């Protein structure tokens, strides 16, 4: 035993169990932290794996969205390719079939379009847009009774839009049923009261019923909202003529001719109550409006979209790296404290 105040020396190779454990502590902490991180990775990887299993559905949705953009810019052939890819990737994706039907209809391939809408509705029978698209195809095929049924389903499922009511009224008019067309147009106007074309069609319906006063009032509304609507000015003249107001009728006819000279022939016979009211090739006077993009603009698939999957994976790896870094720093700190004590 050395005297008090003397410094005891020791052989560096002689290390106690406590000291050995103290020096090994950082290594154990790093190993334990790595094990925890690995387990955490396995747990978190379950969600990305589930998302990866729906990649085809997600991709189908992206192609459907691309198709809608191509429709908006008028590139229908490329839109057809996009929707075809969408339904090829996921044949159970209803919006893909609906968009495919819409594009085929715009290309004039009505039989194929009808088949596509039927597939969409078999997958999602409560999709108002598909019912309306199906009705428009049937209308263009002059299958008006079937079109009325499809438009009826569309408006039942989505009563807050006007176009379905307008087209239902137009189909009824082509069936010679002005009495049922009137309430269809009135429902459309309840949602879009400043649509001059709907007012014009309502006036035509009243004309077929012989209600010339109501027809005149409807045509007045039409030219109020669109002063260059030659057809409504012409039909307004027809209503005035039937009411015996000939001078006013002449003024209205002349207004129509000044806008469009094609109304100058056989004025009294110009009104045609059952004109085809959906736009056709070369149809100018009797256009309703451009086709409506009725397919919901939503990402497809039931899992995470591809970009969200990448973000989720990045966050997961960042968390694991942070845990490893903290574990290493904690171990190094303990190691330094142990050295200081020595």
| pLDDT number for residue 56 | 74
User: What is the secondary structure of 237-255 as a DSSP string?
Assistant: HHHHHHTT-HHHHHHHHHH
Task: Report the candidate in 83, 147, 102 with the shortest Cα–Cα distance to residue 277.
Answer: 147
Q: What is the pLDDT of residues 124-183, one digit of tens each?
A: 999 999 999 999 999 999 999 999 999 999 999 999 989 999 999 999 999 999 999 999
pLDDT in tens, 23-69: 555 556 555 666 565 555 554 554 444 444 456 778 888 999 999 99
Residue bearing tokens 């049923």: 177
**Spatial separation of the C-alpha atoms in residues 259 and 160, rounded to whole Å:** 34
> Running DSSP on this structure, what letter comes out for residue 266?
S
| CA distances in angstroms from 66 to 73, 105, 133, 181, 308, listed in the order given | 11, 18, 19, 37, 18
Each residue of 223-241: pLDDT tens digit?
999 999 999 999 999 999 9
Residue 175: per-residue pLDDT: 95
CA torsion sign, 94 to 95 to 98 to 103?
Answer: negative
Nearest to 136 by CA among 297, 298, 288, 271: 288
Rounded to whole angstroms, how far apart are CA atoms 252 and 326?
85
d(CA 206, CA 208): 5
């Amino acid at each position: 035993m050395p005297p008090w105040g003397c410094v005891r020396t020791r052989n560096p190779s002689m290390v106690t169990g406590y000291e050995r454990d103290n020096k090994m502590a950082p290594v154990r902490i790093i190993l334990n932290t790595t094990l925890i991180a690995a387990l955490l990775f396995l747990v978190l990887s379950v969600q990305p794996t589930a998302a990866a299993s729906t990649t085809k559905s997600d991709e189908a949705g992206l192609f459907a969205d691309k198709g809608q953009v191509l429709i908006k810019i008028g590139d229908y052939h490329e839109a057809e390719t996009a929707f075809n890819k969408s339904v090829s990737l996921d044949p159970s994706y209803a919006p893909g079939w609906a968009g495919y039907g819409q594009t085929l209809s715009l290309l004039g391939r009505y039989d194929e379009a009808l088949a596509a809408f039927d597939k969409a509705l078999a997958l999602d029978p409560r999709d108002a847009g598909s019912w309306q698209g199906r009705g428009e195809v049937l209308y263009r095929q002059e299958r008006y009774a079937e079109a009325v049924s499809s438009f009826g389903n569309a408006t039942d499922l989505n009563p807050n839009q006007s176009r379905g009511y307008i087209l239902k009224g137009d189909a009824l008019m082509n069936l010679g049923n002005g009495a049922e067309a009137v309430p269809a147009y009135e429902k459309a106007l309840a949602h879009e009261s400043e649509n001059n074309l709907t007012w014009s069609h309502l006036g035509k319906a009243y004309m077929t019923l012989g209600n010339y006063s109501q027809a005149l009032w409807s045509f007045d509304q039409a030219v109020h909202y669109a002063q260059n609507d030659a057809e409504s000015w012409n039909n307004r003249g027809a209503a005035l003529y039937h009411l015996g107001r000939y001078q006013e009728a002449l003024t209205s006819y002349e207004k129509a001719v000044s806008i469009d000279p094609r109304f100058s022939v056989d004025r009294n016979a110009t009104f045609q109550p059952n004109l085809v009211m959906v736009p056709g090739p070369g149809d100018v006077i009797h256009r309703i409006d451009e086709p409506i993009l009725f397919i919901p603009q939503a990402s497809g698939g039931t899992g995470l979209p591809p970009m969200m999957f990448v973000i989720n994976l990045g966050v997961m790896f960042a968390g694991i790296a942070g845990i490893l870094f903290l574990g290493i720093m904690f171990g190094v700190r303990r190691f330094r404290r142990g050295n200081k004590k020595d």
